[in-house]
Structure formats: C-alpha cells, structure tokens
Amino acid sequence: MELKRVVVTGLGAITPIGNSVPEFWENLVNGVSGAGPITHFDASLFKTQFACEVKGFDATKYMDRKEARKMDLYTQYAIAVAKEAVGDSGLDVENEDLNRIGVIFGAGIGGIRTFEEEAGNYALTGKENGPKFNPFFIPKMIADIASGHVSMQYGYHGPNYGVVSACASSTNALIDAFNLIRLGKADAIVAGGAEAAVFPAGVGGFNSMHALSTRNDSPATASRPFSKSRDGFVIGEGSSVLVLEELEHAKARGAKIYAEVVGGGMSADAYHLTATHPEGLGAKLVMKNALEDAGMKPEEIDYINAHGTSTPVGDLSEVKAIKEVFGDHAYDLNISSTKSMTGHLLGATGALEALFCVKAVQDDIIPPTINHDPEDMDEEIDYNLNFTFDKAQKRTVNAALSNTFGFGGHNASIIVKKYAE
C-alpha cells in the first residue's frame, strides 16, 4: 500500500504572546516574553505568582454566551482556534464529504478549573446540603471534549477523539492525524491541543513538585532554557491547531500549502514519573524514530524546536540526545526553545511548537531562545551548539523537527519540511 502525502493547509493559535497567528509570530520572532503576574486568581500565597497567560480573550467573540458557559476555558480556547485554522484552510462544509474530515485534540489535563470549582463547592457545602453538581460538570471537565465540540461546530463525522500524554499530547494528536490521513482513513483532520491550567490546583500542584520557576521578582526572564540558573518551567495556556490534509485533496480544491508533514516518532523513557532520562534515552529514540519515519538523514534537518522547558535535568538530557543523534551536524543546525517566550502550554505545547516549525519553514527564520546571559553558562552544556540565543536568525529552513516530552516518560517528535511537487 502506497502511503499518501500529508500537507498543512490551515493554522490557528491563541497564545500568551498573541491571539492570532500573525500576531504571535511577529512577537515570537521579536523575542517578546508572555510572562507576567497571574490574573486568573489571587496567587499571593503561592510559591509561584506569575505565568504566561492569554491576554484579552473574550469567548463571546467566538460563540454564544450561553454555549460558552457549558465549556471549560480550555475548550473555549480550542473552539476559537479551530475557527481561525478552518477559516484559514478554506475547507467549505458545503463542498466537502464531512464523513472524511476528522478532529483530534490533545490536552494534558483538560478542565481543571471546572473540577476545582465543582469539587470546591462540594467541599464547602456538601456535608450540610448534600451533593449539588452542575449537570455540565463532567462534559466540561473531560479531556476529550474539545474535539467533540469542534466536530459538532462543523458537522465533521470523521475520526474524532482526544489524546492524553501530558506535555506530548498535541504532538501525538498531530502524529495520529498524519497517520490516519496517509493511510487513507480521512481527507483532512483538524488537529491540535488546548490547555488552561493557570488556576490554583494547576499552579499549586506543579509548585508542590518543585517543577515551576519561582523567580517572582522577574517573570519575563524566568524561563531561561539552557542557562545555568534555570529553576523550572513557566506555566502557560492557550491552544494551537493545524489543519492536516491529504495532498491530492488539497490540490484539487486549490488550497494554499504551508508545509508538508513527513514523519512522526514516539517513544517512552520507562524511567521516572516526571523526570526525563538523564542520558536522554527516550529523546534519542524518538528523534531517530521520527527521522526513520520521514526517510531522512540527520543532516537534512535545519532546525530543532527543543522541548527546552528550562528545568535543570530536562534541558541537559535533551542536549545530550541531540548531540548523539545528529553528531557533527548538531553544530550546523539551529536549536531554540520558544518556551522562553510562551512558557509551557502543557498539552497544547506540541501543536504550538509544530506550528512554529511550519512558520520557520515557510519564512526561513529561526525564532530565538531569549533570556540567556553569556555569563550564565552551565558547564555541562556544549555552547558550541547554536541555541539561537536572544535574536532570531535568518537561514534556509528546508526541514524542522519539534520535540515534546511529557510526564510519564511520553516522547513525541514531528518533522515538517518545505512542500515540493
């Protein structure tokens, strides 16, 4: 069986540095930080009091107020971003076989705000008044519901489900979409991720694990991947969607093509609940698997969007893995961690960073890793590698690889490249 080719025909995103693709891309290339004091709740008693929040989001711009109340914030983000991506793709419900279009969304946590509110209300009043739960509690909370809402929005009857693999969730969603389309199971899939965990349970839970940066005096510089003084990730929120489409289907309707998806890799560390393998074992495997799937040599990759969360163990193990997989070519390619600007969007981060790779391939520019001080050198990191510190770099980007590694040892990588006939 000959596998079909898969291309990207639509993009959408709501991020801490912009609520549309043109807005966030300009800010990303210019090295703008999305971090600031938490506004979603009073964080004054928390160890971490800042985050990369979405700014100025109004759900009623995208849906009826009554419908919005039936959704957790993460689903509202997903609906809004799907509208941008589907509109961008030009897919027309009047002219498509809707049985051949699917929706796959990743979320690492799902509706944590909803769970917090409902469980909190029960804790306060349950013993006296008995259980009084919102009938929308469960459908607002569950991590698959964003894909259900998006499918209902457009009447898409193709493959439809949610993916949960912590921080790798939306990369897995993209890989699943890629595989289903190239196997002929769908003509197009709206794929991506969404997350909205900047609430007490999310921030407090990660704080208790010592996973978050506590640099409250300087939020904008707290996410500093590959620097010695890195002290944890900065939690972010938002959503990102890519419309993946079978090549001939896209050409037949005259769609614009941003890039081609050529490979996806998956692996497991099988090592620790939350820490990456110190030698980057799973990271090495997942990049090798992605390259093999794409039929590419390491020398053909121009840019790696690193997982690069600004954690002491994670950054170091990823650098080790890159050097081992790419050998001498590791010194010729560009590496950057865009989490230095967006923070870590958890289950939505993979789709967002895959989108960054698509834009890098389209525009031939590498977004930077910000917040690195030349004096802040980790003796275990090889700074002969090009981490694209501080300023974006122009270069031809024929192919880009995006890494995502999640709690539980879940690893996923995806490769996109310039489309050519």
How far is 134 from 16, CA to CA, in rounded Å? 30
Question: Which single residue is written with the structure tokens 């076989």?
Answer: 97
* Alpha helices by DSSP H, 197-342: 200-208, 247-252, 281-294, 312-326, 339-342
What tokens appear for 400 in the block?
Answer: 């880009």
Q: Are strands 259-268 and 410-417 parallel, antiparallel or unpaired?
A: antiparallel
Q: What is the distance between the alpha carbons of residues 28 and 367, in angstroms, rounded to a whole number?
A: 6
Catalytic residue among 149, 249, 277, 307: 307
- 344 labelled catalytic: yes
- Enter the DSSP assignment of 268: E
The rounded Cα 393 to chain-centroid distance in angstroms is: 22
Going by the DSSP 8-state scheme, the letter that residue 5 receives in this structure is: P
Q: Residues 40, 52, 167, 249: which is the catalytic one?
A: 167
Regarding beta strands 303-305 and 334-336, do their DSSP bridges make them parallel or antiparallel, or are they unpaired? parallel
Q: Select which of 40, 149, 344, 372 is catalytic.
A: 344
How far apart (Å, rounded) are the C-alpha atoms in residues 178 and 102? 11
- State which amino acid sits at residue 70: K
In angstroms, the CA 419 to CA 280 distance is 31
3-state secondary structure of 234: coil
**Alpha helix (H) ranges present in 44-142?**
65-68, 73-89, 112-129, 137-141
Distance CA 358, CA 356 (A): 5
**307 is a catalytic site residue:** yes
Report the C-alpha dihedral over residues 249, 251, 257, 262, rounded to 10 degrees. Answer: 60
Tokens 């509690």 identify what position? 137
Sign of the torsion angle spanned by Cα atoms 412, 195, 33, 353: positive
Are the CB atoms for 238 and 73 separated by under 8 Å? no
Annotated catalytic sites, by residue? 167, 307, 344
